[in-house]
Each structure stands twice: as C-alpha cells, then as structure tokens.
C-alpha cells in the first residue's frame, strides 16, 4: 500500500487512540477529560472519511477499521460515562459495590446498553447498502456527543434545574433507552457529507449547521443535547417532505 492509502487509516487509528484514552479517564470517573478525548476522536472520525474521499482511496479495510474504532470511541466510552452518571445519581461515590455483593446495585449497568446498541448499529451499518449518502438510524457519534456533553454541563453550566435533570436516574435511563432505540430505528437521518457545496443540494445541512453554530455561541455545552434533538427533528421532516415531493 502507498503512503496516500494509509493517511485515512492513520486518522482512524488516531480516533481509536483517542477513544482508548477516553476509556481510561471514564473508568476512573474523570468524565470531563473523557469528553475532551472523545470530541478529539470524533474529529478524527469525520476527517478520515473526508480524507479517503479526497484522496480516492476508499476501501473495505478502511470501512471495517472505522467501525472498530467507533465501537470504542462512540460505543464503549459513552456506555461507561452513562454508567458513571447513573452511579453518581445513586450517590455511589466509591467502588465498594465491586468488592461487596451485599452492597452492589445493578442499576448503573443499564448505561452499558448504549455500548451494546452502538456495536449492533455499527455492525449493521457495514452490511447495509442503503447508508451511502445518508444514515438509517441515529449515528453513534451523535448520541455520544449527547452523552459526553452531560458531565461538561455539570462542570461548566451548573444551572440547578439542569443539574437536577442530569442527576435524575430516570432521566438518564430514558436517555439510554431512547438513544439506543434511535440508533437502530428505521428512520432516515441526513449525513453531514458534502459532495458539492451547492445550496440546492445541501440546504438542509446548511440550515442545520447555521442553527448549531448559533446555539453553541449562545448556550455553549447546553446546546449539544438541543442540537441533537433538532438534528432528529429536521431529519424526520426532511424525510417526510422528500417523500411528498417524490
């Protein structure tokens, strides 16, 4: 293989490395640092595909490697983070339940459903020929950004009402179950991939990006969950409108 062919794979491996570091931080409860490394991994995840298309070196190896990296960065990490958030919601501030069966509670393990659902979605993505220009179901990085934004909101924007929501175990369980369902639901979601930059072909993407940048500027980390909800709503509306026009 030429060096040119390995550039996208190198970016994918950087995604995997970022995910592995995030796993280590998430496992010891350093959720803020885990979030930063996941964001870095998602950055590499976006640009490995961009580089492959730009260099015209797309192939089966890159596709499989990309999904394997995403299982870690956008599967294992958000599962552990949700596990930790659920543990904190129960005020389990130490790991005694690991060493004492009498004090163990299984509730935090519900968060790992995200990891299972992500792995299933990524495996299905690799064999689904429909998902070339758009997605069927919520992309794993989208739910990951949602989950990883929660500890950052707790640190940087400690609004009491929002804190009470994030620390509520029922809210966290709902996010886990709804997010896991949406990743594998038969719902069309637009992809932020640009084959050209013409307004007519990309008006939905431009509208979404403009709204996202505006919300990020105004609300910072709180904007991330809102942006994800908007992404889902716009995708559904765009899908319904397209069907009507056809």
Q: Which CATH number goes with the domain that contains 52?
A: 1.20.120
221 assigned to some structural domain: no
**Residue 108 within any structural domain of the chain:** yes
Any idea of the CA torsion for 48, 134, 209, 148, to the nearest 10 degrees?
-60
How many distinct structural domains can be found in the chain? 1
* pLDDT for res 204: 77
Examine residue 105 and state whether it is found in any structural domain, yes or no: yes
Over the chain (246 residues), what is each successive 10-residue block's mean pLDDT?
Answer: 74 94 95 96 85 71 86 96 92 58 78 96 83 80 95 87 91 96 89 67 81 91 92 83 53
Domain that holds residue 177: 3-190
Q: Of 214, 225, 201, nearest to 148 (Cα)?
A: 225
Kindly state the tokens that stand for 229: 């909800």
Residue 173 is assigned to a structural domain of this protein: yes
Which pLDDT tens digit goes with each residue over 200-227?
A: 667 778 888 899 999 999 888 999 999 9
Asked whether residue 244 is assigned to any structural domain, the reply reads no
| Cα gap 228→208, rounded to integer Å | 10
């Amino acid at each position: 293989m030429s060096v040119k062919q390995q550039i996208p794979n190198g970016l994918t491996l950087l995604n995997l490395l970022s995910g592995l570091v995030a796993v280590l931080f998430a496992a010891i409860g350093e959720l803020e640092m885990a979030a930063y490394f996941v964001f870095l991994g998602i950055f590499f995840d976006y640009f490995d595909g961009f580089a492959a298309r730009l260099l015209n070196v797309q192939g089966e190896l890159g596709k499989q490697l990309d999904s394997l990296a995403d299982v870690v960065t956008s599967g294992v990490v958000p599962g552990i983070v949700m596990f930790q958030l659920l543990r904190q919601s129960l005020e389990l501030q130490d790991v005694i339940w690991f060493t004492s069966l009498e004090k163990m509670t299984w509730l935090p393990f519900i968060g790992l459903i995200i990891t299972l659902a992500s792995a299933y979605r990524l495996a299905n993505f690799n064999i689904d020929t429909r998902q070339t220009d758009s997605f069927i179901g919520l992309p794993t990085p989208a739910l990951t950004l949602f989950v990883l934004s929660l500890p950052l909101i707790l640190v940087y924007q400690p609004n009491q009402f929002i804190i009470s929501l994030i620390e509520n175990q029922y809210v966290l369980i709902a996010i886990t179950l709804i997010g896991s369902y949406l990743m594998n639901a038969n719902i069309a979601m637009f992809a932020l991939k640009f084959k050209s930059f013409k307004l007519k072909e990309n008006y939905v993407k431009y509208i979404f990006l403009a709204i996202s940048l505006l919300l990020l500027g105004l609300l910072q980390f709180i904007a991330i969950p809102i942006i994800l909800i908007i992404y889902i709503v716009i995708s559904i509306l765009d899908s319904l409108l397209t069907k009507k026009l056809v």
